[in-house]
Chain A
Amino acid sequence: MSKKRWWQGLGLLIVVVLGVYAYQTRQVSHAGESITAVGSTALQPLVEAAGEQYTGEHLGTFINVQGGGTGTGLSQIQEGAVQIGNSDLFAGEQKGIQAADLVDHRVAVVGITPIVNRKVGVTNLSTAQLIRVFTGKVTNWKQVGGADLPVVLINRAQGSGTRATFEQFGLAKHRSKTAQEQDSSGMVRSIVATTPGAISYVAFSYVDKTVQDLSLDHVSPTEDNVTTNRWKIWSYEHLYTKGQPTGLTKKFIAYVESPAVQKTLVRQLGYLSPSQMMVERDAAGKITPMGGA
């Protein structure tokens, strides 16, 4: 009997201690102390790294960063469930989003390049050839001057920001033929690297020596070519807020846009800074030269 009592007492003690601990360490969510950013996995590394640096410099602030995809980011910010929605696309391009309610903050530019398996033996395609490859008109690489290998298309998932950008600017708004879909750039790269005849597309930062990137119309996929828009397949990375940002959200976005982050983190993580761009592109895809540059 006494042993049972003892156990009961111990159980009660544990519950009380845990309860007190949980109460003491509960997340205090006053405005201006903790914000959440959700969305695009392509932008996640940058926001995470910037958030870590920021909270390191400003003690007592918390910036939670979560993935989930561009669609999740935009729908969460539209509902007001989070403070920042990360997106690869202009909000107006995503179906079901009222872009007028959201304020756009462009914090980075990312270039996207077609990649092929190294055995394909092609390093340059014309845009017309690329479109024929992705729409299924070219089924063997020898039709475009490569090895005798069947073409294996690998797409990103429908609704992915990378895919939307690639189809709009790389394929001139042609839709890719239905083919394999993978939901991450890392997976796409490893499949292209190991599958003979494979072709896909990834952000510049994912290109390594296991895959061959392609020049289009003899323009090579370099950052310099992106800044002048000679390489057309690129997109902005957006932080969206509902209405004008306030408090910590405002400070954090200003921090990400500041030269300190743009010149260091943004470059280190393989993005381009919007300030490097010599042209500007609006949601409709219209290009205008930047004033100062």
Chain B
Amino acid sequence: MKTKTTQQLEQQLKRHSKAAKLEIWGRTISLTALLLIVAVVVAIIGFVASKGIATFTSNHVNLGDFLTGKSWNPNITDANGKPEVGALPMIVGSFLITILSAIVATPFAIGTAVFMNEISPNKGAKILQPVTELLVGIPSVVYGFIGLSVVVPTTRAIFGGSGFGILSGTCVLFVMILPTVTSMSADALKSVPRYYREASLALGATQWQTIYKVVLRAATPGLMTAVVFGMARAFGEALAVQMVIGNAALMPNSLVSPSSTLTSVLTTGIGNTVMGSLQNNALWSLALVLLLMSLVFNLIIRLIGRKGRLQ
């Protein structure tokens, strides 16, 4: 009798309870989801890299020529019999438009975030928050269309030329990245502890002194992350930029001359090339540059985050 009850007890204790089974089940599901996503990311990077590197391995284009060449005509070959695949105009265009739009957007975004968090939290929560969220939801083709029918003619009227160019692109991208940078800056300001402000005010600082010398300083890593995030978005934006930049593979010699970005050349060109040909591979190389740059942006964001935590 006694042994039987012990056995029963043992069985009962060793058996997985319902909660334990659910736990295993849940763990399996989330692990599968994670593995699936990792596999997709690895597959995408692998595919783009293998296609992008083919330009240099199977088409024998010099990497240096690709990165510093100024002439983009994959359809024809130059005097030395080498295809003209100089990506510098696109790389310069992408960086210029990204940096310019970040420079323009940052003061507006931080100003809005300060108003929302520090100066008038009530109005901020009621009006500004929904407005910025609305801006995030507008599809990029709508921005592009507005850029084409409003920004481009305005630029043409004021600065001359055709109106297509980096300036118009900057104007459109500024509005597009503004909500991202604003809402992330607002989060950064929110995470500054309340007692920082209280201590500052108790020392006799005015509100402006508190904001400028305490809150913004304490939130700097968060604000920088917000700006880099905005830049990453600007760098990868294709459609809206393509509609207003003019897509001329030329070195931009002024802000109102037509130029191009990595993304705009990709979207206009990919349908007109044949898989496996040099023209196609060259476009994949541009995609690879784009992918590497967004990885760099991610690294910068991580780096800023880590530095911010140490202080």
Contact = CB atoms under 8 A, between A and B. Distances in A.
Interface residues of A, number: 30
B271 A96 contact: no
A281 to B, nearest CB: 21
A180 B274 CA distance: 23
Contacts of A276: none
Contacts of B74: 158
A140 interface: no
A181 B76 contact: no
B248 A181 contact: yes
Contacts, number: 89
Given A178-B250, A180-B162, A181-B248, A75 B275 contact: yes
B258 A68 contact: no
Interface string B247-280: 1111000000010100000011111111111111
A157 B274 contact: no
B73 interface: yes
A74 B274 contact: yes
A51 to B, nearest CB: 20
Nearest to A160: B272
* Contact size range, B: 20 to 34
A97 B274 CA distance: 8
B163 interface: yes
Contacts of A182: 247, 268
A175 B72 CA distance: 13
B124 interface: no
Contact of A96 (B76, B249, B270, B276): B276
A187 B258 CA distance: 16
A178 B270 CA distance: 18
A158 B277 contact: no
Shortest Cβ-Cβ A-B pairs, 5 listed: A69-B271, A159-B272, A96-B277, A96-B274, A75-B274
Interface of A: 41, 67-72, 74-75, 78-79, 94-97, 152, 157-160, 175, 178-183, 194-195, 198
Given A75-B276, A159-B75, A195-B163, 18 more contacts: A67-B271, A68-B271, A69-B272, A71-B273, A71-B280, A75-B275, A78-B274, A95-B278, A158-B73, A159-B269, A159-B272, A159-B273, A178-B73, A178-B249, A181-B248, A182-B247, A183-B267, A198-B162
